[in-house]
Amino acid sequence: MRRDLPHALAVIIAFGGLSCRKADLTSPPPLRAVSTSPTPAPSPTSSSRSSPRGTSAEGGLAVKTPTRQVGCDQLGAVASDLKPIGPELDLAVLFEQAESGNHKLARVLAEHPDSPGGDPDLLLRAGGSAMPSYLVFPAGVLRASNYRRSPRQGLTVYEVVGRFSGRVIDYYEWYRSQNRKEVDRASVGENAYLGYSNAWTEFCVQSWCFVPDPAPDAGWPPDQRAEIRNAYAEHVRLMKADGAKVCSGVRHPKQHHVGK
């Protein structure tokens, strides 16, 4: 198998070239990226800072070789005070500091990417920057990655508190770190998810909450909106039943457009 295929797929995924679609529904126009302000989020390429190892200026494209810094289960005490979401928080800088051993605790936003899989389940956003990352959840904390769904059928926004480990890892290392066991590679077909060999930054979660989409049916034809609303309402109900908490005081980006 050609070694450049995983990277090519990662490029397609990172820019939404592939999308999850419900088989019996017509997909609406793509949603805008999540932003922490009323205006659309700037492109990750707008940052003038250098990109961290394992990403590129295009917003966290994968590299072929994972790095070997300390993983989430080996991190020591938090190095500094909590850094909130805001223009002053740059994910690339935060990651570079973690590479140097300064693992700062931060509060960032996250969302599920619009892709069929084979990439990280969550995309981190803060201060106008974005970075696909493998999130590792500690024992006793629900895994937000379990609730992945196409953002075109409801864009759930997460507020996540955690820190970068400083590592760049592939799917197999993430699985090992998250589940404390090796993935059964025989269960992963050679062509199932070529992106599994690509590496992304590792983010160690401390806690999280979520903000439901106030208008999951936005962009859908009128005759399909009720079905989309009902399906997303059931999705949110199941999240709450599992113990997921709704964020307090965090506005969903769509609220700026739907007047809520």
Of residues 201, 194, 175, the one with CA closest to residue 12: 194
Query: Could you give the angle at the alpha carbon of 87 between the alpha carbons of 39 and 198, nearest 5°?
Result: 90
For residue 47, tell me if it sits in a domain.
no
Higher per-residue pLDDT: 65 or 12: 65
Q: Is residue 32 pLDDT above 90, yes or no?
A: no
For residue 60, tell me if it sits in a domain.
yes
How many structural domains does the chain have? 1
pLDDT more than 70, % of the chain: 68
For residue 121, tell me if it sits in a domain.
yes
- Give the predicted TM-score (pTM) of the model: 0.73
Over residues 230-250, the mean pLDDT reads 97
Nearest-angstrom CA–CA distance, 90 and 36: 13
| Segments forming the whole domain that contains residue 177 | 5-18+53-258
Over residues 234-253, the mean pLDDT reads 96
pLDDT digits (tens, 9 = 90+) for 117-176: 778 999 999 988 899 999 999 999 999 999 999 999 999 999 999 999 999 999 989 999
For residue 208, tell me if it sits in a domain.
yes
Q: Assess contact for 221 and 30: CB atoms under 8 A.
A: no
Residue 236 carries which DSSP code? H
For residue 107, tell me if it sits in a domain.
yes
For residue 13, tell me if it sits in a domain.
yes
Q: Is residue 20 pLDDT above 70, yes or no?
A: no
For residue 36, tell me if it sits in a domain.
no
Contacts of 66 (CB under 8 A, 6+ apart): 54, 167, 168, 169, 170, 173, 199
Nearest-angstrom CA–CA distance, 27 and 21: 6
pLDDT at 190: 62
